Amino acid sequence: MLTTKPPLDHKSMAVLLLTVLEVVARLGVSRANVYNLMARGELRSVRVGGSRRVHVDVLDRFVAELDDSGPAGAHARHPRMLEPRRRLPVS
């Protein structure tokens, strides 16, 4: 007798890998900031096809390690993540 597995219900499966835009939405920062964090190795990511993905556990750990209570906190570790954009002077 041949048994088959029921089809996967993709809606009920937990998402393990987040897109850059999903990371942007969760952190409330720009896409460029997310790519900069990945480029500096502060936010680990993996390549899936032509896209970058961040594991939910990696993002949770990254957020848990942020601390803005003192000089050794997020301001020192992620200075560009929290500073406002600089505007060039208009000539």
Tokens, residue 85: 């954009």
- CA 42 – CA 83 distance, rounded (Å): 17
On whether the CB atoms of residues 46 and 53 are closer than 8 A, the answer is yes
Q: What pLDDT does residue 15 have?
A: 79
Which amino acid is located at 10 in the chain?
H
Tokens, residue 7: 């089809």
Kindly list the domain boundaries of the chain, sorted by start residue: 17-80
pLDDT at residue 73 tops 50: no
Q: What pLDDT does residue 75 have?
A: 46
Tens-place pLDDT, residues 49-69: 999 999 999 999 999 988 766
Q: Which of 2-6, 14-18, 37-41, 71-75 reaches the highest mean pLDDT?
A: 37-41
